[in-house]
Structure 1
């Protein structure tokens, strides 16, 4: 299908609605690079951008940045996708109908598409696109000491163990088999039942499965086969049939012994949350001593039939036992239980530790709720009554329906005050909370790191740190850059920069993502963005803005191993200003002059023709490159350029590519160190943004705010919805206070992580001034840090770890790796969820019905 047969307007009208269709079991969806999809949406006018602009043409679909090149693609599945990347940040899904049209219109760079199927996950049978297959290694039980012959296979999570057994029989050409079964081994042998699917047995990524066959009609299911009794002369640990081991003599302080958790494949988020929760000694004692069994509530319709509580109890007891033996634990059964009731955590994609923690605390509460029949309770308002009485009554009402170890340990009470802007009616209510989600204050100024490329074609790029107002404009950034650059020069220097001659450009992976206008907001620049600032050449000084246009210039070389002939970008693109009316030769001369900083022998030559002479070639030797008009990303050709090709006068920005005939030519002409710039240095102290204090976040949390138009409050006096003012205050605090720092910001156009350092005390956190309950003494408001869930990296991936205080020492829990860490290292800019323990806990009885 040719492009002209499906116009950008038709694509907008016919394809965009299909992106919002629901996922249905068995459907095929395709994975596509998110940046390409966003560029395509710009091109068809879907993001409040005029459609059909050539500079927004997305070019050939290219999934190079999201595929795992270490694995060969599979038939009917396509390429594997990298782990630790995020949906709507690195990749997106499109339905089959959309993919077929996009591929026909724009072409596809790779040979194999990334096709995925919708499967139903969890007990709720939630339709979910299965992004990652499960990797297993198959072998026979008799070959367990020679794992080099094991076969790698990749399966959907819905494939049954029986299917895996049959595949293994075929792979190893087993003869005369009448019966078979398959085992897994992680410190102990586990028999996997054939009727279960892979997601139900919770395999670890890359796990080895051992096929056992017999020529008899059956196995003795209660015993391990004799062949498993000894391995290398050592008796194996017997099968565990989940017999309960009472631990009534459990010592609460034994929680000091840390135990690692194995990563099953992107499950570091889960491990981090679990390690923090296990650090709570009273809760761990409750589970290890089996007190939880007396509270188990399997009939609670809001619960999970007690299965999440049981899985957590089994895991905690296994961690307690393994810690003494210096072993890590594989949280297989726990992940299975969580995935059944929360399908969003199934599979092997990265998730959020705080979201997992919120689900787990709620699930444990409902599974262990001592209230079997919940009465109906109405919300109480103050209505002029004393606040302490209203608060007590509200808490009594809450505990009539909610009474569990989670409530005993983690739940506190908030006071909520709403004031109507019309009638001044005041509504005061008291609500329970399980954790505090604290916003991070907006800092007025920010420090931005940029690379400045001066007008001189032989000057090296220079890194600068500049401070600008967060609410400022790109014009203000240019002023700061010019000032920082000029401060390094003598006052009478002719090289001083005029901020009006600066162009701010965002470059991502060697592609121009955006050329900013002077009036654009500085907030559009993320901390992780690679920003280059170009100074316009001297010939452009004094020329009115309406008399020249901007040209983005790429270098490209032939792409190796491409399915069809194409070019790939190399080096970093640059931007220059040219007269609106310009011919081919003049444009080429301006580009070559600008590239002098990269050309070898730049002090001896003016044009590439002279290099040909130095190389012994004739004057009329063919050019080693060609100029072509391309799209904004430089990955798609718009038109050939010839001596007669005029640039379009009605477009403010155009993009051209200097395409080298071979990479060897480029290496001959250009300096291999073209990417160099002045050595990176930390921002000076006077430019660094002030770090935050945890108290700053608490002050913001308890400050008054006006409700948005989309979230009004119904005033019972006015009888209508109003944009009321709302204020939250702490009324009472739990023994374990969980604090969630809201580091991830979301808006219509982007998602980003706030990496500001928030100083939080490891000892003596005094919350007395924030607590309104007059009965709370100061000693009841002193907390010490117990654990931290850390997130390292940005939105597009990252890694979770945990810090935990065991006794008086701190340990770093990085999946299965456990190590000591100094207390002063606990406070870091990756801290995400904080666990605080009240120094003098209230004497709450963990009673049973």
Structure 2
């Protein structure tokens, strides 16, 4: 709960909305100083406003920041609305934030009749369109839904290659090798040598596409290869500029941009899909593609570390490399989006999960201001400066909070 709340508190437009509401009251003589103007919206909204006021009020002194604030009211309110969050058991931060934002949104929406617009909607809600195309009649079925989180798969797919190895004295070996699909040709070469004959020197190998007969550069991404068979030829001399440590496991790590591309990439549905067109109406194959009609001002990306399949629960510790500044999400927008322009986002907070799926601990990283370059770690009642800031990029990152850059 602490990690999630710290991330939300560091969304400056959200914080300013609640602080401005308090400021308007305190600059008038109509109310006592303990009056919370957001109590009229609802219990959860009032409790969240109370939390922000006590954590971020502009008249707090340096002495105030040396004493942790106990968020008793919002903890009790959350427990009343959702008893599952009232226990000390580990809960999912994404589920908690979804619950909290939905309740505040509904309370403010009810208060704002007939307008019904809310600060939650303005900041966190985008619209996602799903286009399903029937491969038989080419009919496209489109559905649009509200989305507040961008869930990205980080399950690193494996790809099977057939490797033909030719030694310098002409001996041949043919074997199958599983390798990270996000890796490069150099990763495939290193994987083969480590599994089959480590005595062969990495910097004496030339890779060739077996069918194309074209030499493959070690930096070439495996996903760019259309063929699944590669020939490795051992040379009797060293090849300069090739170093095996450049293709260790870290070199095949996931990049956030690749995960985003996977989210909007077209996928083929199986034959159980039924086209509803009158001229078709049969089980057939189809393709599905997701595109954003509009992106929210604050994009919360969920790296899907917790998987449930075949009755098994597990946590993925895959390292995902993500940018701190300048994440370009323009390509996620559909071509029909009105006023399509550059959508550049900067990271403002991270919710980290350390541990296993059965037990762990949440911490948060956050910028004090979106334009600042100082990052802090929030670990329960402890706060510490992070330097250098690149340390925030870790395998523990679970929720990434990005805010749209304004001109």
Q: Normalised by the size of structure 1, how large is the TM-score?
A: 0.34
Q: How does 1:444-459 map to 2 (within 5 A)?
A: 444=158
- Match status 1:340 vs 2:71: no
1:818: Cα distance to partner?
A: 0.3
Q: CA deviation at 1:788?
A: 0.6
Segments of structure 2 that go 5 or more residues without pairing to the other structure are 25-35, 161-176, 182-190, 201-243
Are the aligned partners of 1:297 and 1:369 in contact in 2 as well (CA < 8 Å)?
no
After superposition, the Cα gap between the structure-2 partners of 1:688 and 1:289, relative to the gap in structure 1 and judged at 3 Å, is: same
Equivalence for 2:14: 283
Structure 2 CA distance for partners of 1:488 and 1:422, relative to 1, 3 Å: closer
1:776 aligned residue = 340
Change (3 A) 1:339 1:838: same
Check if 1:826 corresponds to 2:387. no
Tell me which residue corresponds to 1:428: 142
Deviation at 1:431, TM superposition (A): 2.6
| 1:326-359 Cα shifts (integer Å, max 9, x gaps) | 2212222212211222222121101111111111
Give the CA deviation at 1:488: 6.4
Distance in 1 (alpha carbons) for counterparts of 2:404 and 2:332: 15
What is the CA–CA distance in structure 1 between the aligned matches of 2:260 and 2:51, rounded to whole Å? 34
Q: Is 1:411 aligned to residue 116 of structure 2?
A: no
For residue 837 of structure 1, report the CA deviation from its aligned partner.
1.1
Deviation of the 1:814 alpha carbon: 0.7
C-alpha distance in 2, partners of 1:708/1:314?
A: 51
1:415, distance to aligned residue in structure 2 (A): 2.3
For normalisation by structure 2, the TM-score amounts to: 0.68
Aligned equivalent of 1:364? 104
CA–CA distance in structure 1, aligned partners of residues 277 and 46 of structure 2? 44
1:310 and 2:72 aligned:
no
Distance in 1 separating the partners of 2:284 and 2:54:
53
Distance 1:351 1:405 in 2: 26
Structure 2: how far apart are the matches of 1:486 and 1:279? Answer: 52
Q: Given that residues 40 and 46 in structure 2 are in contact (C-alpha distance below 8 angstroms), is that contact kept between their aligned partners in structure 1?
A: no
Closer, same or farther: CA 831–812 of 1 in aligned 2, 3 Å: same
Q: Secondary structure at the match of 1:424?
A: coil
Instruction: State the 1:724 CA deviation.
Output: 4.0
Give the C-alpha shift of residue 413 in structure 1.
1.9
Structure-to-structure mapping, 1:240-255, within 5 angstroms: none
Which residue of the partner structure matches residue 715 of structure 1? Answer: 276
Pick aligned residue for 2:5 from 253, 258, 274: 274
Residue 817 in structure 1 maps to residue 382 in structure 2: yes
Q: List per-residue Cα deviations over 1:741-778 (Å, max 9, x = no partner).
A: 11112111422222121111111112222223251222
Question: Where does 1:538-577 land on structure 2 (aligned, <5 Å)?
Answer: none
Aligned Cα RMSD in Å?
3.3
Equivalence for 1:740: 302
Contact 2:131 2:289 in 1 (8 A): yes
2:352 counterpart residue number: 790
Q: Aligned with 2:323: secondary structure?
A: coil
Distance 1:788 1:482, change over 3 A: closer
Pair 1:713–1:789, CA change in 2 (3 A):
farther
On the 8 A contact 1:441/1:697 being kept in 2, the answer is: no
Q: Deviations over 1:98-147 (max 9, x none)?
A: xxxxxxxxxxxxxxxxxxxxxxxxxxxxxxxxxxxxxxxxxxxxxxxxxx
- Residue 285 of structure 1 and its aligned partner are, at CA, apart by 1.7
Q: CA deviation at 1:688?
A: 1.3
CA distance in 2 between partners of 1:294 and 1:708 (Å): 54
Q: 1:758 maps to which residue?
A: 320
Q: Secondary structure at the match of 2:393?
A: coil
Structure 1: state its 5+ residue gaps: 1-269, 299-305, 375-399, 447-466, 472-479, 490-682, 842-849
User: For residues 413-443 of structure 1, what are the alpha-carbon distances to aligned partners after superposition, in whole Å with 9 as ceiling and x for unaligned?
Assistant: 2222112344332122333221211122534
Cα pair distance change 1:485/1:423, threshold 3 Å: closer
1:341-382 per-position Cα deviation (integer Å, ceiling 9, x unaligned):
2222121101111111111111111111157668xxxxxxxx
Q: Corresponding residue for 2:367?
A: 805
Conservation of the 8 A alpha-carbon contact between 1:297 and 1:367: no
Shift of the 800–418 alpha-carbon distance from structure 1 to 2, 3 Å rule, reads same
Query: 3-state DSSP class of the match of 1:369?
Result: helix
Give the 3 Å change call, closer, same or farther, for CA 470–820 of structure 1 in structure 2: closer
TM-superposed CA distance for 1:485, in Å, is 8.5
Alpha-carbon distance in structure 2 between the residues aligned to 1:483 and 1:698: 32
Which residue in the other structure is 1:838 paired with? 404
Are the counterparts in 1 of residues 19 and 53 from structure 2 also a CA contact under 8 Å?
yes
Q: Which residue of structure 1 aligns with residue 256 of structure 2?
A: 694
CA distance in 1, matches of 2:345, 2:194: 47
Instruction: Describe the shift of the 1:693–1:487 C-alpha distance in structure 2 as closer, same or farther (beyond 3 A).
Output: closer
Deviations 1:186-208 (CA, angstroms, capped at 9, x unpaired): xxxxxxxxxxxxxxxxxxxxxxx
> Does 2:64 align with 1:320?
no
In 1, Cα distance between the equivalents of 2:91 and 2:85? 7
Distance 1:485 1:373 in 2: 70
The match for 2:287 is 725
Q: Which structure would you say has the larger RCO, counting Cα contacts within 8 Å and 6 or more residues apart?
A: 2
Matches within 5 A, 1:157-306: 270-290=1-21, 306=42
Q: State the number of aligned residues.
A: 315
Alpha-carbon distance in 2 for matches of 1:362, 1:309: 11
After TM superposition, the structure 1 = structure 2 runs for residues 87-106 of structure 1, keeping only pairs within 5 Å, are none
Describe the shift of the 1:743–1:797 C-alpha distance in structure 2 as closer, same or farther (beyond 3 A): same
Instruction: Output the CA distance in 1 between the equivalents of 2:155 and 2:93.
Output: 22
> Separation in 2 of the partners of 1:420 and 1:815?
51
Distance 2:192 2:311 in 1: 26
Secondary structure (helix, strand or coil) at the match of 1:804 reads strand
User: d(CA) in 2 for partners of 1:483 and 1:803?
Assistant: 38
Match of 2:91 in 1: 351
Note the 1:472-621 alignment, pairs <5 A.
Answer: 484=195, 487=198
CA distance in 2, matches of 1:686, 1:281: 40
Give 1:39's aligned residue: none
In structure 2, relative to structure 1, the CA distance for the partners of 1:724 and 1:805 (3 Å cut) is same
SS of residue paired to 2:314: strand
The answer as to whether partners of 2:38 and 2:45 remain within 8 angstroms in 1 is: no
Report the secondary structure of 2:310's partner residue: coil
